[in-house]
Amino acid sequence: MKKMKSILLTLVLIFPVIAAFAQTDSTTIYYRGIDNDNIRTICNLSDIQIEKIFCKDTLLRGKVFNVIIKEFKKGKIRSVKNLNIDKLIERYKMINITDKVGFGNSTDSLTLSFAGILKEKIFKLKIDYPGIGFKQELKGQSNYLLRVANSCSDNKIRIPINTEYPILAYTPPFDTGTGIKSYCMLGEENVLDWFNKFKIKHYYIIYLEIK
């Protein structure tokens, strides 16, 4: 009996340490398109662009998913739009809204949706969290595409925690000069180098910050 109590006491003492080490410093997010064929057709005909990110890492329960949009011109950051989700939570600290803007303590997954349409050279972007939405306006042209920022074909990426990480881009294609224009080639290079390597004069990068 004494030995059993000793074992239980040891487990109680080391459990917080184990839990601390279990906190992850990175996670995997998945990209999702539109599953319904009819909705996909309607979006294509209406020039509506939609991208979704999905996370099922339950170690992130209680964390918020902040979005930051940076505008680049000739390789330099010209504007920054920060949703400041943590400040939103602080503003409404009397109400627990983490499950609306992040990974809720009672949920098994989180999906963020990014949908937009170009009207008169303004891309009207809607960012939808589980319980709240945000609207942003980006400058664009008919050849700008909302797409994965740092991959050409993979539907998932590993991203760090507590760090801004590029997940999506709103950008024109790379003109190869041979009559072929490519969005895919952009995803193989660092988003900060798109002007130097591809001469993309203007584009937006959407960053995710999990904290």
Q: What percent of the chain has pLDDT over 90?
A: 57
Boundaries of domain holding 140: 25-210
Instruction: Say if 186 falls within a structural domain.
Output: yes
- In angstroms, the Cα distances linking 78 to 38, 50, 71, 72, 75 are 38, 25, 6, 6, 9
- pLDDT score recorded for residue 107: 82
Q: In the chain, which ranges are E strands?
A: 26-32, 48-55, 65-73, 76-82, 110-119, 122-128, 133-139, 145-148, 156-160, 165-171, 174-175, 181-182, 202-210
Q: List CB contacts of 148: < 8 A, sequence separation 6 or more.
A: 31, 51, 157, 167, 168, 169, 187
What are the pLDDT digits (tens) for 116-159?
999 999 999 999 988 788 999 999 999 999 999 987 778 899 99
Q: Is 4 part of any domain?
A: no
Q: Are 188 and 152 in contact (CB under 8 A)?
A: yes
pLDDT tens per residue across span 4-55:
545 444 444 444 444 443 457 999 999 987 777 788 888 887 889 999 999 9
Specify the pLDDT at position 92. 62
pTM of the model: 0.84
* 191 has pLDDT over 80: yes
Looking at 61-70, 72-81, 93-102, 197-206, which range is the least confident one? 93-102
User: What is the pLDDT, as a whole number, of residue 21?
Assistant: 39
Taking residues 94-113, report their average pLDDT. 77
10, part of any domain: no
> For residue 114, with 0-12 CB atoms within 10 Å meaning exposed, 13-18 middle and 19 or more buried, which class applies?
buried
Domain membership flag for residue 56: yes
State mean pLDDT over 191-201.
96
Residue 53 lies in a domain: yes
Does residue 121 fall inside a structural domain?
yes
Average pLDDT of the residues of the chain: 85
Q: Is position 78 within any domain?
A: yes
Number of domains comprising the chain: 1
The confidence band for 97, taking pLDDT boundaries of 50, 70 and 90, is: low
Q: 8 in a domain, yes or no?
A: no
More confident residue, 8 or 188: 188
